[in-house]
Structure 1
Amino acid sequence: MSSGKGKYGSLALTRRQFLANSAVSGLALSAPYVITAQARAATQLVYIGYGGSTQDVITKVFIASFIKETGIDVLSSPGADLAKLRAQVQTGNVEWDLLNLIGPQASAAGNDGILEEIDYAVVHKGGAIERGQSKFFNTYYFSRGGIGFNPDKFPSGKHPTGWAEFWNLEKFPGRRGLRSRPEDNLEMALIADGVAPKDVYPIDVDRAFASLDKIKASVAHWIAETPQTVSLLQNNEVDFVFTYSSRIEAARKQGSAVDFAYGPNFLTPGTHVIPKGTKNRDAAMQLMGHFLRPDLQAAFCNETGSTPINPAAVPLMTPEVSARQPKFDDPQVMFVNVDWWAENYAAVNKRFLEWRLA
């Protein structure tokens, strides 16, 4: 989940700048069949994601088909940021219509009252999806967090496949790469220390930090930007890294010698939210629902290796990608508890930053 400039423009792009650049993005068309003719020409959605290869696929699969089928303009750009979202809503200058946020941030934003309540009569028009929905955010896929490695350097049996092995510095010596934030790190530390995935929450923070102490000296890089989780592998700056299946799959398709340990992965909801006060609420709800269509979810996951929220997508996926999908009842798979993080993030993050610098 990256920031900075991406294929579809700068993080700082305003709606006016989006309009000026719409010819470059190729995403400016007309308007929706459910919106009145008078409003049709004026309707234009701004979709904000995290950039990188994942947003490229989002734009190709979801955004382009939505434009074609509804005629609603959609301008897609990176720059998802909770602080910017909060500032827009608080100042009454809402420029974004649909925003991709990681689950903990989406939950926090809902608690802060800066999101529109979701109209599930529109969003789930094609049928309700039981998992991943809430009053203020809707999950459209799960990102899969796990261990990345170079298969040429570390073939089968020579790389860790789970968190206990990732922590085993004697059996699997080498430079580690971890995210520079507490979420995911505390969970993997507990699982490495023997806690079952189903028992991770509520997080025993003291035990997690004690476990992190055991691996801290081997962490060569604390990674702030998601693309670095792969580039550090490619540049031989780490041996084993916490990363995401979508990033590894994108790099593999480009010929990089990287691989992902499928199995005991973390599933983190990729969510959509609608900023409170958007002028395009109804059209934004339509776009949110469009992301749940099984054929589009299958196409997205075929390219990213992610996990769809709609179970009807699984039979539509390629056999290779479908075979790698986690079973939601697998005891080795852990669902990140976004509500726990929304309530505890500030205090835990402060302790984590102090721990890293100590």
Structure 2
Amino acid sequence: MNFSNKLSRRAVLQSMAVTAAGALLPTAASRQALGQSSKLLYVNTWGGTWTETEQRAFFAPYTERTGVEVRTVSPVSFAALKAQVESGRYEWDVTAINEPAWVRAYSDKLVEPLDWSIIDRASVPEDAITHDGVAVCVLSTNLCYRTDKFPENAPQTWADFWDVERFPGNRGMYQDGRTSIRQALLADGVPVDQLYPMDIDRALAKLSELKPHVKVWWRQAAQSQQLIRDGEVDLMPIWNSGATNLKRQGAPIEISWHQAMPVRTILGVVRGASNRENAFRYIQLCLEADRQAEFTQGVGYGPANVEAFDHIPAEAARGMPTHPDNAPLAAVIDPVWEAEHSDEIEERFLEWLVK
């Protein structure tokens, strides 16, 4: 399948409208209020492999331990989170969402304060606690390349990705403003620990240099995997979990951990949830090292609780963002700055993209 990168402003705006509308559609689980039964917990989830892995790592052990049944509502959506709090029509008790979106939710007073009378604070890594939520795992965006295209002199940095002379080949990019602007700044020589405040003008100028060489702007994880697996592109940014899946399938691909972009997934309770006690007990279980080990191996992310590495085989651990060999090579992401400027970043990026 070919994915064209020729976009119109109307196509982009229509796509955004459809996505936003879809996020707000009611589901079969819609209720005026949660908590009709103290033996039920509603968890907002991404679906697919994520939910299947949650079932093994979190849901089944939680039900066995507490007797509380877990039911799921998909997909994860900041817009739906905000709408249910504002309307009082709740879909779920607990959700896990990327950190910049969680920071926005905290700022908008959409989340419950962590209840330390239920969660054992001593068991939670201090650096995992943020904005009334806790980090449950870490996903990173990495430079990915085909090893049959670059068997020896492989690209390792975003400057390499921009260097079309030394590293010729079809390129794909993720159609996301924050990710693309980070990559452009790193390619332009900004140190990994000095990305903020982001110079958006500088980033867009750098992106303009590469734009003629980008064959595809991908938007979904499955699309990114298909593109590089089938050889439609030779190098591209990809989520590390997608690369893990491809390598398991035998695809000739590799990723670089240099300047990887880690983003934490934050677990927390929606403000006004009736089943808040069950929700906080669920969070407690999700933070346990053996539970995180099973979950992150299933989804290909890194555990937020590094003690989980005691339960993860060395080969699998080496492919995770929080592994001690990988974490020091990554860019330093500021989710608070990105949350405060997310609308401006996306607006300017989309305006640039459709020119």
Equivalent residue for 2:305, pick from 290, 302, 310 = 310
What is the Cα deviation at residue 14 of structure 1? 2.9
Equivalent residues in 2 for 1:183-262, closer than 5 Å: 183-262=178-257
What is the Cα deviation at residue 342 of structure 1? 0.9
- Contact conserved, 1:140 with 1:291, CA < 8 A, in 2? yes
TM-score normalised by structure 2 residue count: 0.84
Equivalent residues in 2 for 1:100-249, closer than 5 Å: 100-125=96-121, 127-157=123-153, 159-249=154-244
What is the Cα deviation at residue 192 of structure 1? 0.9
What is the Cα deviation at residue 107 of structure 1? 0.6
Deviations 1:262-311 (A, max 9, x none): 34311101111321111111111111221111011122233333221112
Q: How far apart, in 2, do the equivalents of 1:258 and 1:124 lie?
A: 42
Q: Secondary structure at the match of 2:128?
A: coil
What is the Cα deviation at residue 54 of structure 1? 3.0
| Closer/same/farther in 2, CA of residues 335 and 55 from structure 1, 3 Å limit | farther
Equivalent residue for 1:47, pick from 3, 25, 43 = 43
When structure 1 is superposed on structure 2, of 141-150 and 99-108 the one drifting more is: 141-150
- Tell me the C-alpha RMSD between the 2 structures: 2.4
Q: How far apart, in 2, do the equivalents of 1:154 and 1:173 lie?
A: 10
> Percent identity between the aligned chains?
27
Partner of 1:28: none
- Contact conserved, 1:103 with 1:270, CA < 8 A, in 2? yes
Q: How far apart, in 2, do the equivalents of 1:121 and 1:202 lie?
A: 37
Equivalent residue for 1:339, pick from 336, 341, 352 = 336
Please tell me the residue identity of whatever aligns with 1:190: L
Q: How far apart, in 2, do the equivalents of 1:207 and 1:50 lie?
A: 34
Q: How far apart, in 1, do the equivalents of 2:327 and 2:276 lie?
A: 37
Q: How far apart, in 2, do the equivalents of 1:40 and 1:295 lie?
A: 31
What is the Cα deviation at residue 188 of structure 1? 1.3
| Closer/same/farther in 2, CA of residues 352 and 138 from structure 1, 3 Å limit | same
What is the Cα deviation at residue 319 of structure 1? 1.2
Equivalent residues in 2 for 1:1-40, closer than 5 Å: 13-15=27-29
Q: How far apart, in 2, do the equivalents of 1:324 and 1:256 lie?
A: 15
Please tell me the residue identity of whatever aligns with 1:123: I
- Contact conserved, 1:246 with 1:304, CA < 8 A, in 2? yes
Partner of 1:66: 62
What is the Cα deviation at residue 41 of structure 1? 5.5
- Contact conserved, 1:126 with 1:293, CA < 8 A, in 2? no
Q: How many residue pairs align between the two structures?
A: 327
| Closer/same/farther in 2, CA of residues 239 and 142 from structure 1, 3 Å limit | same
Q: Secondary structure at the match of 1:268?
A: strand
Please tell me the residue identity of whatever aligns with 1:58: E
Equivalent residues in 2 for 1:292-311, closer than 5 Å: 292-311=287-306
Structure 2 segments unaligned to the other structure (5+ residues): 1-17, 19-24
1:354 is the counterpart of 2:351: yes
Q: How far apart, in 2, do the equivalents of 1:63 and 1:250 lie?
A: 23
- Contact conserved, 1:138 with 1:271, CA < 8 A, in 2? yes
| Closer/same/farther in 2, CA of residues 244 and 197 from structure 1, 3 Å limit | same
| Closer/same/farther in 2, CA of residues 94 and 156 from structure 1, 3 Å limit | farther
Please tell me the residue identity of whatever aligns with 2:57: V
Q: How far apart, in 2, do the equivalents of 1:207 and 1:127 lie?
A: 43
Equivalent residue for 2:285, pick from 282, 287, 290 = 290
Structure 1 segments unaligned to the other structure (5+ residues): 5-10, 18-38
Deviations 1:224-268 (A, max 9, x none): 222222122123322212111112212332444443223431110
- Contact conserved, 1:142 with 1:307, CA < 8 A, in 2? yes
Q: How far apart, in 1, do the equivalents of 2:184 and 2:209 lie?
A: 9
